[in-house]
A = this chain, B = another copy of it.
Amino acid sequence: MIYAVIMAGGTGTRFWPRSRTTTPKQLLNIFDHETMIQKTVARVGGFAPSERVMIVTNALQQDGVQKQLPSLPLHNILIEPVGRNTAPCIGLAAIHILKNDPDGIMAVLAADHLIEPNDKFCETIRFAASVAADTGGLVTMGMIPSRPETGYGYIQFLENDKIHLNGREAYRVKTFAEKPNFATAQRFLDSGDFLWNSGMFIWKASVILELIEEFLPDLHDGLMEIRESIGTPAYDETLNRVYRSVKGISIDYGVMEKAKNVFVIKGDFTWNDVGSWEEVYQLSPKDGSGNVVTGNTIVLDSANSLVHSGNKMIATVGVQNLIIVDTGDAVLICDRSRAQDVKKIVEELQRKDLKELL
């Protein structure tokens, strides 16, 4: 059976002032009435009903996650005491799945990506699950790159080393590449054998746990301790103690780059990690002046801008190419070309210790 494991611990500083410590990107309704995590849970419905959807989040976001996903069983929301990157997070989900289902397959997904259409996505996840089950390997989801993007990691695959299954292919992974500079990204794009690393992984829970045992034995020891305590009063204390002692490390670096049986599938759906307000602008429908306008606004002679009002009136006159986002307590005015630098505002707020705005 396939379990959706949705990692929802991100802080999303680039969506300030809407993203805050307790409401990062995944808990925001950036595009319509649904939040990113609600969209994600709805999407995985095509292969995992609520009882097989697991969210891994943190204490700050627990309330928000529970409120936004009332149909999810409470015990499916796993709370990390501290952030330790993706390897412990995935290990924690794996032991919870294995407690009930020794053959369980995990589809590890982000809570804040935009993917369409749902049916193509679910079909691909099911295919990936069958590859994971048949091979006992690790399956990654690659996206065919459309531009020399420097914001994503890349996966290089072996064109001639592939598995055929149900009329589709899974390619053996040659190497993982970190976020490249522009020249390298262009080379990757030209080469034809590099895909964007979407950060979505599919594997048997038992397999990833064995590989954690092999490559990250300390983490494995800790996870075994936690596993023993599941369903007992000692769980919280054990989880807390183990998490504070283990090293933070990504599953990519800690396991996947060292593992042998790694495959990549080409996703045939549109995927976007919605990394900035500029991407929200790009992905949203625009009016005749190229504006994306929501909420209480008067927009005069203004063009190619994103104007988002919480409840106060935003009035613009003669402006161009701006991102304007208002929340009750703060307003951002950012040139669209500088959307990546919104995180610098958050850094400045941290320096000034303005907690109420973080």
Measured CB to CB, the residues of A under 8 A from B are 16-17, 298, 300-301, 312-320, 322, 324, 326, 328-335, 337-338, 341-342, 344-345, 348-349, 354, 357
Contact = CB atoms under 8 A, between A and B. Distances in A.
Contacts of A324: 333
Nearest to A341: B317
A354 B313 contact: yes
Nearest to A335: B318
Contacts of A17: 313, 315
Top 8 nearest A-B pairs (CB, nearest first) are: A318-B338, A318-B335, A313-B330, A317-B334, A315-B345, A317-B338, A316-B333, A298-B348
B335 A312 contact: no
Contacts of A318: 334-335, 337-338, 341
Given A318-B335, A318-B341, A334-B318, A313 B329 contact: yes
A357 B313 contact: yes
A319 to B, nearest CB: 6
Contacts of A338: 301, 317-318
Given A298-B345, A314-B331, A317-B335, 12 more contacts: A298-B348, A313-B354, A313-B357, A314-B330, A315-B330, A315-B332, A315-B333, A316-B334, A317-B338, A318-B337, A320-B335, A322-B333
Nearest to A357: B313
Given A301-B338, A338-B301, A349-B298, A344 B317 contact: yes
Contacts of A320: 335
Contacts of A341: 300-301, 317-318
29 contacts: A17-B313, A298-B345, A298-B348, A300-B344, A300-B345, A301-B338, A301-B341, A312-B328, A312-B331, A313-B330, A313-B331, A313-B349, A313-B354, A315-B345, A316-B332, A316-B333, A317-B333, A317-B334, A317-B341, A317-B344, A318-B334, A318-B335, A318-B337, A319-B322, A319-B333, A319-B334, A320-B335, A324-B333, A326-B331
A332 B298 CA distance: 9
A54 to B, nearest CB: 36
Contact of A345 (B312, B317, B319): B317
A348 B342 CA distance: 31
Contacts of A333: 314-317, 319, 322, 324, 333
A314 B331 CA distance: 5
Contacts of A312: 328-331
Nearest to A337: B318
A277 B328 CA distance: 24
Contacts of A316: 332-334
B298 A319 contact: no
Contacts of A16: 315
**Which of A314, A315, A319 is most buried by chain B, counting CB atoms within 10 A of its CB?**
A315
Contacts of A331: 312-315, 326, 331
A300 to B, nearest CB: 6
Given A326-B331, A331-B331, A317 B342 contact: yes
